[in-house]
Structure 1
Amino acid sequence: MNALLQRYDVLICPASIVLPFPVEARDIREAAGQHFGTYIDWLAITYALTLTGMPVIAIPCGMSASGLPVGIQIVGKVRGEAALLSAARAIEEIIGTWATGKPEVH
């Protein structure tokens, strides 16, 4: 991760592998044909980044075609919290300029 972030300012990836699901569903057991044996398996995209020790922030980035919220995670450099927050703010400003409302993610 250090080598990657020496080349790039930040890493951006989805905040979740699935769209929000009904509150009655305790967890996700399958997505895109991938079976998840435990509750935390489908959360790997979030905890894997935390395990790198890099600062990470999650921000909203729009809505799905069905109107559900979508987010992204932004990973910064070691001890780069200020730069990470600045990048997140810049991304929020760019996203806010799309169309006349919320951007759609398809």
Structure 2
Amino acid sequence: MAEDLISGRLRRRIRRDFPDTDAARGIVGALRILAVELEDSGQSTERLLTAAVLIAAGDVERFRRAIRLARTDWRDLLMAGGLGDDFERVLDEELGPR
């Protein structure tokens, strides 16, 4: 189920930011788990997961910190990832059009 929650455009961004296949696979796996953990937030899954990827900026350790932040308070994750306000525009800018 959670696998389908990672959009195609977010997968493309992950491959771009994490060119190492194993790292990208690990990022996707962690995002699947996070999607399930945050499904009760009432927020767009793509928005939440993208925030973690944007915070990471291609760095696995930064990604781990973003996941910890998400588990502490998903609202802080969105703000730190630049997806607090006007997030649909930011998603399109960062991931490309749907």
TM class by shorter chain equals: 0.3 to 0.5
Question: Normalized per residue, which structure has more strand?
Answer: 1
Q: Return the TM-score normalized by structure 2.
A: 0.36
TM-score normalized by the length of structure 1: 0.34
**When you count helix as a share of all residues, which structure comes out higher?**
2
